[in-house]
Amino acid sequence: MSPFPGLDRVLAVIGRTRHKMVAIELEEAVKRGNSFLEVRLDFLAKAVDFKRMLPHKKCPWVATLRRPQDGGRWPGKEDDRQAVLRQAIVSGFDWVDLETDIADKIRRFGAVKRIISYHNMTETPANLDEIYEKMLEQDGDVYKIAVMANTAADIERILKIQKSAPKPTVAFGMGEIGIPTRYTSLKFGAPWIYAAFNKERGIAPGLPSVDDFKTTYPVRSINAETEIFGVIGDPVGHSYSPVLHNHMYLRTKTNAIYLPFRVPVGTLPEMVKAFEAVPVSGYSVTIPHKQAAAELAGESEAFVKLSGAANTLVRRPNGTFFAANTDYSAAVE
C-alpha cells in the first residue's frame, strides 16, 4: 500500500478508443481509490454511446469532448460536437467541460456543474490575462487554463493568474517546463490537479499519472503553507530526487513537496526569478547549470568559490540564494 495520502484532490482522466476499454477503466479507477473522473469522449473511435457507459458510473464524472486545436481528437463537425456535449449534460454526467468560445452557446442545465476552459497547445499568449478576465464573465463553476509553457515569462503569467484567481481556477503550463505549475496550483487554491489514469495513453504533454501521486508526489497535503523545493536540470525527468525527498518529507512530517524543474541551458536566472512568485525555498542543481548556479548566488560557501560550481541553492529570508557544493565536500571527505 502506498504511504502517500489518498486521491481526493485528483481528477483522473480516462481516454480510450473503445467503449469496452472505457468501461473497464471506469470500474478499475474506482477500485484503485479514484473518486473523480474525467471521461475524454473525443478519444472514442465510434459514436458516443452513453447507455454503455453510464451503468459503470460510481463517482462524479466530467464530460469532455475536445477539438484537435485544443489537444483533443474529435474528428467531426462542431455542431455535432456541441450536440454530444448537450447529450452528456442531460444523460447523467455531474460536470461538463466547455471551451470558453462555446460556453455561452450551451446553457446550464439542472445540477450539472461547468468547467470553462482555455487550451493553447503551442504557447502561453501574451494576453492571457485578458482571456482569463473574459472567461470569468461566463457562467462557470471552475475555470481551467492549460497553456504550453516555453519560457520564464510564460511561467510568470501562469503563476500570476493562479495566485490572484477570484474564482475556483486550475491554471498550469503544459510540457516539461510547466510541470511544477501543476503542483503549485494546488498551493494557490486550485480545486484539483489533473492526472492520467493510464499513463500510457498520451493524453496531454506533461500530464502526470495517478500512479505518480501514489509513489512520488503527496498532492493531498499541499496547502498555502507547503514549502516548494526541487531539482533543476536539463534533462531532469530521469531524476530520482523527487522520490527520495518526498518520502523523507512524509517520514519526517514536513509540509513540503519536491518537484522537477526542467530549465533549458542559459535560462537559469530567468527561471529562478519567475518561480520567486511561489517562492521556491531551495534547489538541487544538476547539469548543465552548476556553474550558472554558483554565479547566481548572493552568498557561497568556500567549496563553491574553489570549484566555480554549485549543486545546491537555498533561499535566504531576503530572497537571495546561498550556494553550496556538496559534491566537492563529499569528494574531499
Residues 6+ apart with CB under 8 A from 17: 43, 44, 45
Question: What is the C-alpha separation between 15 and 18, in angstroms, rounded?
Answer: 9
Q: Which of 144, 245, 289, 290 is catalytic?
A: 144
Identify the three-state secondary structure at position 64: strand
Question: What is the C-alpha separation between 170 and 190, in angstroms, rounded?
Answer: 5
Give Cα 89 to chain centroid, integer Å.
26
Give Cα 179 to chain centroid, integer Å.
6
Active site residue 238: no
Q: Which of 19, 51, 113, 119 is catalytic?
A: 119
Active site residue 245: no
Question: What is the C-alpha separation between 232 and 44, in angstroms, rounded?
Answer: 38
DSSP string, 158-192: HHHHHHH-SS-EEEEEESTTTHHHHHHHHHTT-S-
Residue type, 282: G
DSSP class of residue 221 equals G
Please answer whether residues 50 and 33 qualify as being in contact, where contact means their C-beta atoms are separated by less than 8 angstroms. Answer: no
Phi, psi (deg, nearest 5) at residue 161 = -65, -45
Please answer whether residues 160 and 128 qualify as being in contact, where contact means their C-beta atoms are separated by less than 8 angstroms. Answer: no
**Bridge partners (DSSP) listed for residue 228:** 257, 280
The upper half-sphere exposure of residue 67, i.e. CA atoms within 13 Å in the direction of its Cβ, equals 18
| Catalytic site positions | 119, 144
